[in-house]
Structure formats: structure tokens, C-alpha cells
Amino acid sequence: MIFFGLAALLIAIALIVGVTYTVGSLAWVTLLQWKDLVSFDRWTEVLITIKSNKLRTALTTISVAWGIFVLVFLLGLGRGLNQGARKQFAREATNGVWMIARKTSVPYGGYDIGRHITFDNRDYDRAVAVKGIDHISGQFYMTGGAFEGTGMMTKRGGKANAFQINAVHADAFYLTNHEIVEGRFLSKGDVADKRKSIVVGRPVVEFFFKKGEDPVGQWLEVAGVPFQIVGVFRDEGGAEQERQIYMPVSTAQLAYSGNDRLGMIEFTAGNAGPDEVKAIVDTLKGQLSERHGFSPDDAQAVHVHNNVEQFQRFSMMFMMISVFVVVIGLGTLAAGVVGVSNIMMIAVKERTKEIGVRKALGATPSSIVFMVIQEAVFLTGIAGLLGLSGGVAMCALIGKAHVSDFILDPGIDLSTGIAATAFLVFAGALAGFFPARAAARVNPIHALRDQ
């Protein structure tokens, strides 16, 4: 973590220094001749010098274009990867932890392995008291605690369909990415009073109700018991996330003879880091093992699905990838810029005589500096735009080809593109600075001395 922070800081400093230096040198050179930047004449003068060095110009162009291409392509791919992976997370809260009752895998207190564990309401009550927990809910599985197969027949007016039922506390909402579009989610009152309230996803409404009909207040029969709809939700995660019905855990326990059993306890811990969350999980596990007689070291009696840790790992990985990409890309680009600078330095050395002639004919040092810098900016600019469009095209191609589910919409956004272009201009000016200074210092007497 510290390492990445430092790396990012260093890069930022390098950028700021580079840009300041460039802006400073540009200002020094151009204040007098700013109008020349838009002069067509000056551009044709630049083009002439490029024309006289075609091969070298081409090689330089390729090196910078390649740098930008690599940078844009890797950045775009990184973004695609990030988006692809984030989509996998989008189904649930990124700071959620799910603790699911399973089977023991370690002999403990005289019991053999393979014993089914079931939580109950007292586990939930004790968990609520644990410090650091932000939102918490228990869940009762109507089919007896299995994680899958909770679909229940739901009926209304002769129509019937199976939807997944979640019997939960009011806070379960915070463990989802649902968005209420009508009415409300389950309340604490619904749970406390064991009300027959349900919150349904949009497909449920679409299945049972006509268009324009208000579902809130209407009744549905869920596994033989009538419930009243109090709210409708939607979810960006897709249709599967919406084909669900939420009801108070207490009502479900009563209606489907669940006694006080719970199959899962789920919670969020605010902005807590992975270490704090791990401590909470350990506390809860300790409480559970104490009450249900399994080893606190049994990794399987309670299955823990910890998004905080996974998301952290995921974010870390992408941070690493981003830093890597930026370092590689900037490195390649820097190599390109140094290449331009070198090649232009050679060009200036070769054109010493020409520069001497120009000076004898009345070229001021600043006009010479500007000529060289403009050529450098022109070169890197053209090359950069080539690389930029190449990178964008490559990303689009990969996006279209659908190489992997983990890559979603690779590519860079407009602001990154604009920033890259601006950066190119600065890089070009920076590349041209030293050759330009060398050119301005050409002594016409030495340059013009015969033979």
C-alpha cells in the first residue's frame, strides 16, 4: 500500500516538474511570437524541414506512436478488466460479509465430523451486539437451510411462477445493490410484528400485474400464505437479481414452521478495513462455535463469504495493474520522447549551417527555438495521435471480439484522451527544448565558415 502511494506520488511529482519546466520554457520562447502558432506560414516552414529528413522522421514517429499505443491500449484494457470484474461484484454490497451454516469438518466435544450446523434467532441477537457491525440481518431458508433451491411457488389470480424467497431482517437491504422504485423495503416493524409484508422485484410485478396497475397494497400467495406487497425494487445486476421476493424473517419462521432457525447471518461493517472485518468475523465465529459446539478452528462449519477481503484484494490487484500500466506506458513514452529529442539534436547538429544562414539573414534566436520546438511538437503530436487512435481502435476491436467475460468495454474515456493529447504536446515541447536551445546557440560565424 505504502509502496503504491509512494510510486504514485513520485510519478505525480515527475509529471508536475516536467510540465512546469515545459510550460516555463514555452512561455519564455513564445510570449513574443504567440501569433505565429496559428500562422500557416510557420507550419509550412516546419513541414519543409521534416520533408528533408523523411526516414528519420518516420522512425521517430513510429517510436512515439508505439509508446502512446502501448499506453492507451494497456490503460484501455485495464479499464475493461476493471469494469468486467466490478460487474462480478455488482450483485452484492462490496463491503458485505455472509456467514452460512454448513457441516462440521473437525471432531469437537465428542461429536464426529459432518454434523449440520444451524443458526437461530439468539445467534442473531448476540451478533447484533458485536461492535463494528453496521447493518446486520439473519436469513431463514425455507427449504431447510440449503443455500440453493429456495424458489417458492407464488400465485395470484390463476397465475403462478417460482421466485426466490429471501426471509430476512430489514437491514438485508444494505447487503444488496437494490434500488426501491415504489413503496419501501421491509421495516423493523414488519419483522417485530411478524407482518405479512413482501418486497418484490420488477419481473414479479410484470408477471402478475397489468401495465399501469399499482402493485403496492396488492396481495400475492407465497407457498400457500398470502402476503401484501409493500415495495418494488430494481437491480443493475441483471434480471436474476430482480426475480426475488423479500419477506420478514420472523413471518417466514412462523408461517413455514421454521421455529427460530436461521441459515445465514449477513452483515456490513461500514468502511472497516479487512483486518477489522476479520476481527468481527472471528468474534462471531467464536460466539457461534460456543453455542453450537463446533471447533472455532473449523473452517467449514461456517462458510464465510467476505467481500471486504475480496474487494480489497481485487482493488489492490487493479491498483497494481494501473501502476504497472502507467509505469510501462510512461516509460515507453519517455523513451519515445528521448528518442525525438535525440534525433532532433542530431538534426540540429546537421543543420548547423542552415541555422547559421538563417541567422545571418535575420532569424532571431527565439524564432529558431520556436521552429525546432514546433517541429518536435508537430512530430510527437502526429505520432501520438496515430498511436492514440491505434490504441483506441485496438481496444474497440477487443471489446467487439468479446475475448473474455472479464473484459468489459475496454477503452479510454474522452478526458483521458484529451489529457493524453495535451500531455503529448508538452512531451513534444520538452523533447524539442534541448535541441532548440542548441540551435539557438549556433554561432553563425562558425556555421558559415567556408569548407
Partner 1 sequence: MLRLDKVNKYYRVGTHSLHVLRDVDFEVADGEFVAIMGASGSGKSTLLNILGILDDYDSGEYWLGDTLIRSLSEKKAANYRNRFIGFVFQSFNLLPFKTALENVALPLYYQGISRRKRNQIAEQYLERVGLRDWADHTPSEMSGGQKQRVAIARALIGKPRLILADEPTGALDSETSRQIMDLMAEINKTGITVLVVTHDPEVAARTSRIIRLKDGKVVDAEHARDSFPQMQAQP
Q: Which residues form the interface with partner 1 (CB under 8 A)?
A: 40-41, 44-45, 48-49, 51-52, 353-354, 356-367, 444-445, 448-451
Q: Would you say 337 and 64 are in contact if contact means Cβ atoms under 8 Å apart?
A: yes
User: Minimum Å distance from CB 436 to partner 1?
Assistant: 14
C-alpha cell at 143: 427449504
| CA distances in angstroms from 250 to 118, 127, 177, 193, 198, listed in the order given | 16, 17, 23, 8, 12
Between residues 84 and 444, which has the closer beta carbon with respect to partner 1? Answer: 444
Query: For 271, phi and psi rounded to 5 degrees?
Result: -100, 20
Q: What DSSP string describes 377-409? A: HHHHHHHHHHHHHHHHHHHHHHHHHT--TT--S
Between residues 55 and 401, which has the closer beta carbon with respect to partner 1? Answer: 55
Q: Would you say 150 and 164 are in contact if contact means Cβ atoms under 8 Å apart?
A: yes
User: Minimum Å distance from CB 441 to partner 1?
Assistant: 10
Contacts of 214 (CB under 8 A, 6+ apart): 182
Between residues 276 and 354, which has the closer beta carbon with respect to partner 1? Answer: 354
Residue found under cell 468502511? 271
Q: Would you say 368 and 436 are in contact if contact means Cβ atoms under 8 Å apart?
A: yes
Q: Would you say 216 and 182 are in contact if contact means Cβ atoms under 8 Å apart?
A: yes
Q: Would you say 219 and 226 are in contact if contact means Cβ atoms under 8 Å apart?
A: yes
User: Minimum Å distance from CB 27 to partner 1?
Assistant: 17
Instruction: Provide the pairing of β-strand 119-120 with 225-235.
Output: unpaired
Give me the residues paired with residue 116 across strands.
103
Between residues 204 and 355, which has the closer beta carbon with respect to partner 1? Answer: 355
User: Minimum Å distance from CB 50 to partner 1?
Assistant: 10
User: Minimum Å distance from CB 363 to partner 1?
Assistant: 5
Q: Give the three-class secondary structure for 403.
A: coil
Between residues 319 and 447, which has the closer beta carbon with respect to partner 1? Answer: 447
Give me the residues paired with residue 97 across strands.
267, 306
User: Minimum Å distance from CB 431 to partner 1?
Assistant: 22
Neighbours of 54 (CB within 10 A): 9
Residues 247, 235, 78: CA angle, nearest 5 degrees: 140
User: Minimum Å distance from CB 57 to partner 1?
Assistant: 13
Between residues 313 and 449, which has the closer beta carbon with respect to partner 1? Answer: 449
Which helix (DSSP H) or strand (DSSP E) does residue 406 occupy?
Answer: none
Rounded CA separation 378/431 (Å):
11
Between residues 10 and 47, which has the closer beta carbon with respect to partner 1? Answer: 47
Q: What DSSP string describes 305-370? A: EEHHHHHHHHHHHHHHHHHHHHHHHHHHHHHHHHHHHHHHHHHHHHTHHHHHHHHHTT--HHHHHH
Between residues 300 and 366, which has the closer beta carbon with respect to partner 1? Answer: 366
Between residues 175 and 440, which has the closer beta carbon with respect to partner 1? Answer: 440
User: Minimum Å distance from CB 377 to partner 1?
Assistant: 20
Of the chain, the end-to-end C-alpha distance in Å amounts to 62
User: Minimum Å distance from CB 392 to partner 1?
Assistant: 35
User: Minimum Å distance from CB 362 to partner 1?
Assistant: 2
Between residues 213 and 450, which has the closer beta carbon with respect to partner 1? Answer: 450
